[in-house]
Amino acid sequence: MSVTPDNPAELSRRTLLGRAAAAGLLATPAVGLLGACATSGSDQGSSTRAEGTKSAGNPLGVAEDAPLEVVIFNGGYGEKYATDVHQPLYRKAFPKAEIKHQSTQAVSTVLQPRFASGNPPEFVNNSGEKLIDFGSLVADGQLMDLTEMWDAPSVGDPTRKVRDTVVPGTVEAGSFNGKPYVLYYVSTVFGIWYSGKLFRDNGWAPAKTWSEFTALLDKIKARGITPYGYAGANAAYYQWNVILTHAAKIGGTDVLKNIDNLEDGAWQQDAVRQAAEAWAEIGAKYVDKSFEGLKHTDVQLRQNQYKLAFYPSGDWLEGEQEKDTPPGFEYQLMPVPSLTSSDRLPATALRATAGEGYFVSAKSKNPRGGLEYMRQMLSVAGAKGFTEVVKAPTVVTAGSEGFAFPPGVASSQAALKAAGQDVFNLYFDGWYKELDTEARTATNELMFGRISADAFCERLQKRADAIAKDNSVAKFTR
């Protein structure tokens, strides 16, 4: 068996390439058996879960000496609030427990293999661009039911349950099919932002109605400033958020509920079409075409340079831009203006929710420790400490009292108060990532003039229908 060429020169590049390909193909079936490794063993989890005795000081029955692993997303809020505030609180309550702290900017890269191998950390701050899809985590039974934690007595005041110490809607924001799995900790208000200084200097006032709004945009344009803009390259969801907020104000909050529940024709409701039409016109007249190719940091910087007047975002914007904001800029929030006088909700209505998700892994070794960590976070001391470190309000009602927020967050808190009961939220982007992606793409198409409002609605409806029919996607309703 002498297949080896006696003359090495015969082994040309051609035969070498050919043989390598053949070898690769032959080798494939032979090692098929090896394939079982990365996907196996994921269902076992930890068979023994730490549990202690319940008492007044330990209502969740935490094993006092069980170690606890905490993974924090090191993004806009950093990790200092965890290491300097929350972890000392837990240690004070359970001095024998060892806390292993870890922080990352790519949550799914670090943790997905840990879940797959059945060894997840107890407590996770699942956030950032690389978060693990919450819907998948819930569908795969990886998350601990938080009902017990919400019903436990709060840390400072044992007569009140934890769920009664937070702003209404917090538990619902983290619920999937009615069961609470995620704690959204940071109070977030969405709106359209402008510089208080720029507007004062030019004698402009924020708009309440659509005609006021377009008149104002015309004035701004005449001053040589781009009136409105968002970043198409990576932050188109800031804009679909505005369109859908507007739709909810026009047609009532059920408009969004229908969208979240993947109802037939939800995206083709009149309110959605009207909102899309109105904003397509803004896109055509007042948005710089180049913004489609810019990232959110670029566009936000332009606003800080007074080259852009209005920018839609949540109230994390002020903190995020802290380094680039010129002194006296003064971020201010304007709720999305009313379209007509027959709008269902008043002009003050806005989208607000709790943001920044935290969960406890059901298949970790010490899930009760994770629940307790959450309860400590939701104590007044935990919330106050968080707000002092990151300058953002938490969902704990007593946590922000007496804190002097910077102008932007102060204005969003004031707007939230003014909105009263007319506060709403939407969920589909967290439940169905594909629909979020499609909404981003369609929003760019709409705002930069490539499709009409009708086509926008039709396109999104088509994708929503496809998801509703797809049996591989876990469904949620509210």
Which residues here bind another protein, judged by CB under 8 A? Answer: 12-14, 17-18, 21, 24-25, 27-29, 31-32, 34-40, 42-43, 108, 112, 115-116, 130, 132-133, 135-137, 139-142, 232-234, 236, 288-290, 292-294, 433-434, 437, 440-441, 444-445, 448, 450, 472
Burial 122-145 (b: 16+ CB within 10 A, else e): bbbbbbbebbbebbebbbeebbbe
Q: Is 14 or 323 the residue whose CB approaches another protein more closely?
A: 14
Q: Is 119 or 387 the residue whose CB approaches another protein more closely?
A: 119
Q: How far is the CB of 230 from another protein (least distance, A)?
A: 12
Q: How far is the CB of 293 from another protein (least distance, A)?
A: 4
Q: Is 137 or 396 the residue whose CB approaches another protein more closely?
A: 137
Q: How far is the CB of 460 from another protein (least distance, A)?
A: 13
Q: How far is the CB of 90 from another protein (least distance, A)?
A: 26
- Return the sign of the alpha-carbon dihedral for residues 36, 37, 43, 44: positive
Q: Is 1 or 404 the residue whose CB approaches another protein more closely?
A: 1
Q: Is 204 or 237 the residue whose CB approaches another protein more closely?
A: 237
Phi, psi at 196, each rounded to 5°: -60, -35
Q: How far is the CB of 440 from another protein (least distance, A)?
A: 6
Q: What angle do CA 47, 369, 125 make, to 5 degrees?
A: 100
Q: Which two tokens stand for residue 477?
A: 């309703």
Q: How far is the CB of 2 from another protein (least distance, A)?
A: 9
Q: How far is the CB of 331 from another protein (least distance, A)?
A: 23
Distance CA 38, CA 42 (A): 9
Q: Is 23 or 215 the residue whose CB approaches another protein more closely?
A: 23
- Return the sign of the alpha-carbon dihedral for residues 124, 130, 134, 137: negative
Q: Is 109 or 340 the residue whose CB approaches another protein more closely?
A: 109
Q: How far is the CB of 39 from another protein (least distance, A)?
A: 5
Q: How far is the CB of 392 from another protein (least distance, A)?
A: 26
Q: Decide the pairing of beta strands 308-314 and 226-228.
A: parallel
List C-alpha distances in Å: 1 to 4, 67, 319, 382, 406: 8, 62, 73, 76, 82
Length of the chain: 478
The DSSP code sequence of 358-420 is: EEEBTTSS-HHHHHHHHHHHTSHHHHHHHHHHH---BSBGGGSTT----HHHHHHHHHHHHHT
Q: What is the residue whose two structure tokens read 């900017």?
A: 105
Q: Is 205 or 466 the residue whose CB approaches another protein more closely?
A: 466
Q: How far is the CB of 407 from another protein (least distance, A)?
A: 28
- Residue 329 near residue 197 (C-beta atoms within 8 A): yes
Query: Which of 72, 74, 73, 76 minimizes the C-alpha distance to 87?
Result: 72
Q: Decide the pairing of beta strands 68-73 and 99-104.
A: parallel
Q: Is 200 or 450 the residue whose CB approaches another protein more closely?
A: 450
Q: How far is the CB of 280 from another protein (least distance, A)?
A: 15
- Residue 160 near residue 459 (C-beta atoms within 8 A): no
Q: Is 89 or 455 the residue whose CB approaches another protein more closely?
A: 455
Q: Is 42 or 209 the residue whose CB approaches another protein more closely?
A: 42
Distance CA 349, CA 341 (A): 14
Q: Which two tokens stand for residue 421?
A: 């009961």
The DSSP code sequence of 207-276 is: -SBHHHHHHHHHHHHHTTSEEE---TTT-THHHHHHHHHHHHHHH-THHHHHHHTT-TTGGGSHHHHHHH
Phi, psi at 429, each rounded to 5°: -65, -30
